[in-house]
């Protein structure tokens, strides 16, 4: 099945090894862009430079709510899309002899949190003990650089893929997935997709992922001076009462019989997270308004729509409590409305990933049922395209001192290079 002779395989792997320094150089450049929501421009421009460096002609794909909002994979956005267009690049072979492939990765990162808690500043990449530290280093700028260096490794070996290869650098993986959806909808379908998202402290293959719904609850209380507190409804206390209803819901959702086989053995796969809270005005005034932003996990077998209905019911029930009488409770859904997804290991692209990893590293790619989500769901649920999500060993992604293993990055680059060459076939440049 493979037109890849042992000499070519060896040459490709040697090229990967020769690219080790360049790999870290590009990773550092990407991490230096603090590409949080709405501020992805620098990282997107860096991706244009990187794609050009690979000899490709990048172009922009806008995320257009008017054309995408009726798509089942769409999530209600949080900010405007102007000036934040996704970047894609396409390699076209002289003669198509193999299968086409998409390499996909998101450039957005989650906020750094308390920057003073980081050992080194979050957007100044640093190497310690064989690992690169920085926000986004693991999730997932290392993976993006790996797929680019995999492509470059073929070129250095005098080869190029003998099939179309698309590369998508997208925004908003961390809050909607709409950037991925826009690129998927705008580009021709390929025979498979690889997304090098990081593994949890090990090189991991995503076997499944939960869905996620984002909800915002705003409570407007009944104001009063603290000396007649009993006359008012404190918005912060009311929001807290509503939040506790979600903690009971979370416990219920994690009961054994509700957990899908793909997540068996995992402690607490369905999580409700209160991510933001804002409210109150003055220590000696009864708080008039409080807003909480939360993220509610969706187990396989359930859908985002069903969980949305659960949230509406929970909020309505909590708001009807006596203690909240007179308070106004509003519920809004902005951000993720994402269904859970499985990534079967018996697809051709998954089997190739496991086989290439074994050859490239001498190790075994580990199964990872993820309690977070990736853009991979779009391709599987709505794109009818097999998708393999696997990547380097990263620690504390979304946390303080996020980091990724350097040897692991190189192993993934070698794996991606072999997978690319074997999936697409190769031709001489």
Residues making contact with Zn ion (CB under 5 A): 139-140, 197
- List the one residue out of 390, 413, 364, 409 whose CA is nearest residue 207: 390
| In the complex, least distance from residue 110 CB atom to Zn ion, rounded to whole angstroms | 9
* Whole-angstrom distance, CA of residue 390 vs CA of residue 411: 12
Give yes or no for a contact between 350 and 208, defined as CB atoms under 8 angstroms apart: no
Count CB neighbours of 150 within 10 A.
28
| In the complex, least distance from residue 198 CB atom to Zn ion, rounded to whole angstroms | 7
Long-range contacts made by residues 116-121, C-beta under 8 angstroms, separation at least 24? 117/400, 117/401, 118/400, 118/401, 119/401
For residue 284 the two structure tokens come to 């000696």
| In the complex, least distance from residue 200 CB atom to Zn ion, rounded to whole angstroms | 12
For residue 289 the two structure tokens come to 């308004």
| Residue among 287 and 389 whose Cβ is closer to Zn ion | 389
| In the complex, least distance from residue 195 CB atom to Zn ion, rounded to whole angstroms | 8
| Residue among 107 and 318 whose Cβ is closer to Zn ion | 107
| In the complex, least distance from residue 219 CB atom to Zn ion, rounded to whole angstroms | 32
| In the complex, least distance from residue 75 CB atom to Zn ion, rounded to whole angstroms | 15
Give yes or no for a contact between 107 and 170, defined as CB atoms under 8 angstroms apart: yes
| Residue among 376 and 425 whose Cβ is closer to Zn ion | 376
* Whole-angstrom distance, CA of residue 63 vs CA of residue 310: 29
Helices (H), 187-325: 235-253, 304-319
| Residue among 144 and 300 whose Cβ is closer to Zn ion | 144
| Residue among 161 and 392 whose Cβ is closer to Zn ion | 392
| In the complex, least distance from residue 170 CB atom to Zn ion, rounded to whole angstroms | 11
Query: Which neighbouring-strand residues pair with 277?
Result: 292
CA 369 from chain centre, in angstroms, equals 14
| In the complex, least distance from residue 173 CB atom to Zn ion, rounded to whole angstroms | 5
| In the complex, least distance from residue 423 CB atom to Zn ion, rounded to whole angstroms | 23
- CB contact set of 197 (below 8 Å; sequence gap of 6+): 105, 139, 140, 143, 206, 374, 376, 389, 390, 391
| Residue among 293 and 391 whose Cβ is closer to Zn ion | 391
Question: Residue 132 belongs to what H/E stretch?
Answer: strand 131-133
- List the one residue out of 381, 279, 390, 389 whose CA is nearest residue 339: 381
- Cβ-based burial of 364 (10 A; exposed 0-12, middle 13-18, buried ≥19): exposed
CA angle 323, 328, 333 (to 5 degrees): 115
Sign, CA torsion 125/127/130/135:
negative
| In the complex, least distance from residue 19 CB atom to Zn ion, rounded to whole angstroms | 23
| Residue among 245 and 381 whose Cβ is closer to Zn ion | 381
Sign, CA torsion 22/26/32/36:
negative
| Residue among 197 and 427 whose Cβ is closer to Zn ion | 197
| Residue among 139 and 237 whose Cβ is closer to Zn ion | 139
Half-sphere exposure for 10 (CA within 13 Å, toward CB): 3
- List the one residue out of 170, 46, 137 whose CA is nearest residue 405: 137
| Residue among 168 and 289 whose Cβ is closer to Zn ion | 168
| Residue among 197 and 402 whose Cβ is closer to Zn ion | 197
| In the complex, least distance from residue 139 CB atom to Zn ion, rounded to whole angstroms | 4
């Amino acid at each position: 099945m493979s037109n890849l002779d042992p000499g070519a395989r060896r040459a490709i792997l040697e090229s990967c090894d020769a690219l080790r320094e360049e790999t870290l150089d590009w990773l550092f450049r990407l991490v230096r862009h603090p590409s949080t929501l709405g501020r992805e421009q620098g990282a997107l421009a860096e991706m244009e430079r990187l794609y050009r460096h690979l000899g490709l002609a990048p172009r922009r794909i806008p995320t257009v709510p008017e054309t995408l909002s009726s798509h089942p994979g769409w999530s209600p956005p949080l900010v405007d899309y102007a000036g934040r267009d996704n970047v894609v690049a396409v390699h076209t072979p002289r003669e198509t002899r193999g299968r086409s492939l998409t390499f996909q990765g998101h450039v957005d990162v989650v906020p750094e949190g308390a920057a003073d808690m980081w050992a080194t500043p979050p957007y100044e990449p640093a190497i310690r003990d064989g690992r690169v530290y920085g926000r986004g280093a693991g999730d997932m700028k290392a993976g993006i650089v790996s797929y680019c260096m995999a492509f470059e490794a073929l070129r250095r070996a005098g080869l190029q893929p003998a099939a179309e290869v698309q590369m998508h650098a997208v925004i908003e993986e961390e809050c909607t997935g709409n950037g991925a959806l826009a690129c998927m909808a705008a580009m021709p379908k390929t025979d498979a997709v690889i997304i090098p998202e990081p593994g949890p402290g090990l090189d991991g293959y995503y076997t499944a992922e939960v869905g996620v719904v984002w909800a915002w609850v705003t409570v407007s209380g009944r104001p009063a001076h603290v000396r007649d507190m009993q006359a008012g409804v404190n918005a912060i206390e009311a929001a807290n009462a509503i939040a506790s209803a979600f903690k009971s819901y979370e416990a219920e959702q994690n009961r054994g019989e509700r957990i899908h086989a793909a997540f068996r053995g995992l402690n607490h796969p369905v999580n409700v997270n209160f991510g933001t809270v804002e409210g109150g005005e003055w220590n000696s005034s009864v708080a008039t308004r409080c807003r909480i932003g939360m993220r509610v996990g969706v187990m396989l077998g359930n859908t985002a729509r069903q969980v949305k209905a659960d949230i509406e019911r929970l909020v309505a029930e909590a708001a009807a409590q006596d203690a909240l009488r007179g308070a106004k409770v509003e519920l809004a859904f902005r951000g993720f409305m994402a269904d859970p997804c499985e990534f079967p290991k018996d697809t051709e692209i998954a089997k190739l990933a496991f086989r290439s990893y074994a050859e490239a590293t001498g190790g075994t790619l580990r199964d990872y049922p993820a309690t977070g989500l990736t853009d991979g769901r779009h391709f599987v649920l709505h794109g009818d395209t097999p998708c393999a999500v696997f990547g380097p060993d990263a620690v504390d992604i979304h946390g303080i001192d996020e980091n990724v293993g350097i040897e692991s990055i190189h192993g993934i680059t070698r794996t991606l290079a072999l997978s690319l060459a074997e999936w697409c076939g190769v031709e001489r440049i």
